[in-house]
Structure 1
């Protein structure tokens, strides 16, 4: 669980200053863990701290905050009539800009930085594992999440929509959704998704960063092939193609004829997802989402180990 700087910056860009409510401490049985958070603005919110009544009450208090920071202790049974029986401490903060750095440490009141917090920050600077979200002697500490991984999805059909619905709520990804025309997309698209209608989706590959993840699932095999061809010449973190073993065998031979090597072509995964889950769009989406999460986490772990070895 980390401070999602990208989500805060995006919400500010869309709505102006926002209030972030984070679970700072817990006692007993509670809906969510320390570090769970939500963002609140005048006419909306995103994320969740769980609990239904807890979340509703916290959002109302966030919208009426008279200060930039407030710490609230909530006994779930007596205060809200919830059956969890525990208690949560919520830290609500107003942001007009997202914080910088790798760790966000701030007082919950007027307490000067104690030695315990200085030690935790020093350990993190020296290469130790970043501290988990926690309150320490009147200070709230949270690691700031790494930059979100860019994910490009080509195709707004049933599988494309299932993928977007599944992945968009997850932290750690920024989604660019590509298809041939505006009417290919649903009427309502989440705010954190960039829809890119273009008559030539393959040309959009040039706009993607070289470290982006790509998922290809258009209505056209010819377009799918052209997207694979363009990606192999462009560079990518990962690429996946929907299709059968027969489709992929034909694509491999055609990509070889276009000048790509077997090693390059093998970087494209086909089929995508977890075949044992079935071919239902939501089943494909679940398999793809789990593989993406594991891939990104594996890269973050490798980067951390490299940093530890060279630090």
Structure 2
């Protein structure tokens, strides 16, 4: 149980953890099937699967799984493969677990109201930032909320390569100021709603404000996949689809599976 508690604490603190499970044993082994261990991002461990060379190998495998994000499996004859005296067989599964990535939504209007539940269901830790107390309410948004000036909040952010940002405010001047503050930061993704004409003007103004071409090009706008969306709910589906597409490496075509 200590391993599970440690994993929960790491995830709550925003740090990834790898959970290790002994899935099969045969013959003489230091731990039985079902033994668990947590490997933290710094390589420290909670619990044990028996120590020795097998644990050393599995910790290295777990750290690699945290780097790649892919589960891993380890099987060995402890004597023949690792030089341990136990003589048995052991199979281990390594499962990397990552905290919910933060996603900041600037704006609390119709589109935000429609898209936030989708983003939450997709496993993001959503925060809505809007200073309009009649819109940014707990009844409308069952997530973290910041009832404050969006400009001030954006200016107070530091770089976070795991963070997604969505700009869907009611004010073009505010959108531009937010992009000017947010784009130079290390974010995973920054998307903004708007027409192609609005986006083209914004890119010119962002360059004029001193942002380099790579930074300006990183803005995902108009945000969303092309679904010919019109209603707030349809636009929300389009935005959520692009977020999933990006999180999955941008490898999907975005077209119907049936062709």
TM-score by length of 1: 0.53
Q: What is the aligned residue count?
A: 201
The residue that corresponds to 1:180 in the other structure is 131
Q: Is the 8 A contact 2:7 2:17 kept in 1?
A: no
TM-superposed deviation, 1:9? 5.8
The residue that corresponds to 1:50 in the other structure is none
Equivalent runs, 1:106-185 vs 2, <5 Å? 113-114=31-32, 122-123=57-58, 125-126=60-61, 127=64, 129-131=70-72, 143-171=95-123, 173-185=124-136
The residue that corresponds to 1:202 in the other structure is 151
Q: 1:207 to 1:176 in 2, by over 3 A?
A: farther
Q: 1:170, 1:257 → 2: CA distance? A: 36
**Root mean square deviation of aligned Cα:** 4.1
Q: 1:121 to 1:271 in 2, by over 3 A?
A: farther
The residue that corresponds to 2:208 in the other structure is 257
Q: 1:5 to 1:169 in 2, by over 3 A?
A: farther
TM-superposed deviation, 1:230? 1.1
Q: Structure 2: which 5+ residue stretches go unaligned?
A: 24-29, 36-48, 74-90, 251-259
Q: Is the 8 A contact 1:149 1:174 kept in 2?
A: yes
The residue that corresponds to 1:22 in the other structure is none
SS of residue in 2 equivalent to 1:175: strand
TM-score by length of 2: 0.63
Higher helix share: 1
Q: Structure 1: which 5+ residue stretches go unaligned?
A: 14-96, 133-138, 300-311
SS of residue in 2 equivalent to 1:168: helix
Q: 1:240, 1:165 → 2: CA distance? A: 17
